[in-house]
Structure 1
Amino acid sequence: MLLSTAIIRQAIEPLTSKARRNVHIIDDSLFSRNRSKKVELLARVYDHVSGTYVRGFRMLALGWSDGNTFLPLGHCLLSSASKQQQLQGASSGIDPRSNGGKQRKLAQSKAPEVVLTLLREAHEAGVPAQHVLFDLWFCSPALLHQIHEIGYDVIARVKKSEKMHFLCQGRMQDVKSIYRAHAKRRGRSAYLLSVQVEAVKDGKRLPVRLVFVRNKAKRGDYLVLVSTDLSLSEEEIIQTYGKRWNIEVFFKMCKSYLKLGKETRAISYDALTAHTPIVFTRYMMLALEQRRNVDERSIGELFLLTIDELEDLRYLDALAMLLKLLMDCARDAEILDKEQLNQLLDLFLARLPHLWQRCLKQCT
């Protein structure tokens, strides 16, 4: 968290407009230890890709993005809140008041509790972000209320479930019922429907906007996005949620190229917790280097000097220099004599627009 915050403050924030919507992104990925038996807090976790249970952890990660650069902020290797799913328990010799003891306790908490803990740490560290993005696995009215109380707005995908209800037109309805009850937009609009509803939890109401978007991967289907920031338009909500893909690229990079979970065979939970930030730090180095190579503003004074040089050299001046170079090369190669070269140049100028002819004659 400290390293990422320093990179954002010193290297990225000066290059980013204040009007840009910076976001926190939350997601989890499988941390597989399928061949292990004695790893501390090892558990049976569900793999959404294969649809089976495997041995390992759920690596819950919090990241920051400005739409261009993604940086990890924090993580937790989740075991399981259920003792029945745990294949190994926590070490009994760890003081619960120590950092290691607190991490083990957090690893056995439910995912929403860990999400709130990571967001509070990022908020206390002063990481500049206005919105929190996550997929449908974490979306619930309770979590929307809790994150909004911390000080962030949420843009998330909503699961089309009969258990997920919002207050619409005076009664609690699921998103499918809301979709059927309203008229859809015609034509090739970016979204099908936009409805302002309320998320209700323990009697508290939070105004939110539901945006129903066409599912490009499946014709006739739709996706549902929810936003607690009512000041954003539907297009801005869709655009902002698109930044969530950065964390998927991050997971792919860490697992396929940075040896996350592969270069250590440790069985201690402390060792695994230390290994993960080492891999994340490698990713930060690559992300910072990529930003410096892509963003021309990071070149500093050299960028300003090149801009000044381009402003001094006009287009017609450059064209005149190229023509002169071409004539010199033809003369040195003895392809044409001087009289023939002048005739060729006059013929070329005669076919140019009159304004260009006058300006080129002035340049030469």
Structure 2
Amino acid sequence: MNQTRLDLYTDYLTVTFGYATATGLSQLLDGEISHDAISRFLSGDEYTSKDLWKQVKKTVREVESADGILIIDDTVQEKPYMDENDLICWHYDHCKGRNIKGINLLNCLYHSNGASIPVAFELIRKPFRFCDINTRQEKRCSDVTKNEQMRSMIDTCIQNQLTFSWVLSDIWFASAENMEHIKEKRQKDFIMALKSNRLVALSEVDSKAKRYTRLDQLVWTEQKAIKGWLKGLTFPVKLARQVFTNKDGSSGILYLVCSRLAAEWDEITTTYQKRWKVEVFHKSLKSNAAFAKSPAHTAKTQANHLFASIVAVFKMECLTISKHLNHFALRSKLYAKAIRGAFDELQVLRAA
């Protein structure tokens, strides 16, 4: 890895407010590094989750704790005008409820002692093409599912001796297989959101007799967790229901499953609130690190640009820790300085 090039490029992604190009970085450096050298950096060896761990390991060791949390989530960045390839293709966006053309990032964020650090990632690729029998249209698919990649990332974090107790995820990763893997194979605890139609038995006898009830048909006591047996799981869990009010005044219901039987409603809901850290990370990735602002067309150069964006947000998190300013406040500070510099230069030009 060319660390010097990576540091320059990630800093450039942090300060640029437009498209991130090799020419733009070269001009910023007054030609000290040619745009060809930057292009070669982006088209060189592809950087992976292993390379990310090398970047963040030192900082992680400084903030990690026994009650650390792994947060798993994915995000889709729309790229409607780019040529389709294995990386830029059609993915289902849960937020929009439809397929969109773009890049799908699966991310693993580590949260401990107030810091949120990316420790693993996967870019979803779909190299295989097939013809849909119903629509007779060509489609793409991956050779590995996101759930398999999720489990692999958790295994990698354990192999890296990362200290954590909880794994948090939304409903899209709340499969029985994932729960079994985390609790039974890896001896970690999880809290996951569940769909309202998931089936549960309130006793082991009912579970063995396959007498299950939908979550939304149970009689719930407010702010109290209950013990239950989810269909498909071999061990009991704690279940919680949280009623909340949306910004528009409407109410919503969140169903949560927790593998730690000693956990009560307050601990389950309070811990799960920390899952929002990954949404903040994704927002910063797209707003503060030029995640979608690369004109690179090949899968490799796009992937390396995205890797650099993740590292750029990590470096901003390091500044957040030391300067006590969030990512958006830091960017606002940089923007104010840039505007001031441009204003002063304009006065100089007028006076000349």
TM-score of the superposed pair, with normalisation by structure 2: 0.67
State the shift of 1:221 in Å: 4.1
State the shift of 1:184 in Å: 2.2
Residue in 2 that maps onto 1:39: 85
Distance 1:52 1:196, change over 3 A: same
State the shift of 1:45 in Å: 1.3
Task: Tell me, in whole angstroms, the C-alpha distance in 2 between the residues paired with 1:183 and 1:45.
Answer: 36
Residue in 2 that maps onto 1:129: 164
Residue in 2 that maps onto 1:281: 311
Question: Any conservation in 2 of the 1:70–1:246 contact (CA below 8 Å)?
Answer: yes
1:213 to 238, 242, 257: 242
State the shift of 1:67 in Å: 5.7
State the shift of 1:230 in Å: 1.6
The size of the alignment, in residue pairs, is 259
For residues 326-347 of structure 1, the C-alpha deviation after alignment (integer angstroms, 9 at most, x for no partner) is xxxxxxxxxxxxxxxxxxxxxx
1:12 to 54, 63, 77: 63
Residue in 1 that maps onto 2:145: 110
State the shift of 1:41 in Å: 4.2
Residue in 1 that maps onto 2:178: 143
Question: Any conservation in 2 of the 1:62–1:118 contact (CA below 8 Å)?
Answer: yes
Q: With CA pairs under 8 Å and 6+ residues apart, which has the higher RCO, 1 or 2?
A: 2
What does 1:207-246 correspond to in 2, within 5 Å?
207-217=236-246, 221-246=252-277
Query: Quick one: which amino acid aligns to residue 197 of structure 1?
Result: G
1:69 to 110, 115, 120: 115
SS of aligned partner of 1:235: helix
Task: Tell me, in whole angstroms, the C-alpha distance in 1 between the residues paired with 2:74 and 2:277.
Answer: 13
Distance 1:250 1:209, change over 3 A: same
Cα RMSD, aligned residues only: 2.6
2:322 to 283, 287, 292: 292
Query: Quick one: which amino acid aligns to residue 172 of structure 1?
Result: Y
Q: Does 1:23 align with 2:69?
A: yes
State the shift of 1:7 in Å: 1.0
State the shift of 1:271 in Å: 2.6
Task: Tell me, in whole angstroms, the C-alpha distance in 2 between the residues paired with 1:114 and 1:38.
Answer: 23
Which protein is bigger by CA-based radius of gyration? Answer: 1
Task: Tell me, in whole angstroms, the C-alpha distance in 2 between the residues paired with 1:57 and 1:108.
Answer: 17
SS of aligned partner of 1:231: coil
Task: Tell me, in whole angstroms, the C-alpha distance in 1 between the residues paired with 2:89 and 2:125.
Answer: 5
Q: Does 1:168 align with 2:202?
A: yes
State the shift of 1:263 in Å: 2.0
Task: Tell me, in whole angstroms, the C-alpha distance in 2 between the residues paired with 1:118 and 1:175.
Answer: 29
Name structure 2 gaps, 5 residues minimum: 1-52, 326-352
Distance 1:176 1:80, change over 3 A: farther
SS of aligned partner of 1:58: strand
Task: Tell me, in whole angstroms, the C-alpha distance in 1 between the residues paired with 2:143 and 2:121.
Answer: 14
State the shift of 1:273 in Å: 2.6
Query: Quick one: which amino acid aligns to residue 252 of structure 1?
Result: K
Question: Any conservation in 2 of the 1:157–1:225 contact (CA below 8 Å)?
Answer: yes
Question: Any conservation in 2 of the 1:81–1:109 contact (CA below 8 Å)?
Answer: no
Distance 1:52 1:263, change over 3 A: same
For residues 71-128 of structure 1, the C-alpha deviation after alignment (integer angstroms, 9 at most, x for no partner) is 1111112134873489797xxxxxxxxxxxxxxx9x5411111101111111100111
State the shift of 1:254 in Å: 0.8
Task: Tell me, in whole angstroms, the C-alpha distance in 1 between the residues paired with 2:296 and 2:138.
Answer: 17
2:221 to 170, 177, 184: 184
TM-score of the superposed pair, with normalisation by structure 1: 0.65
Question: Any conservation in 2 of the 1:264–1:275 contact (CA below 8 Å)?
Answer: no
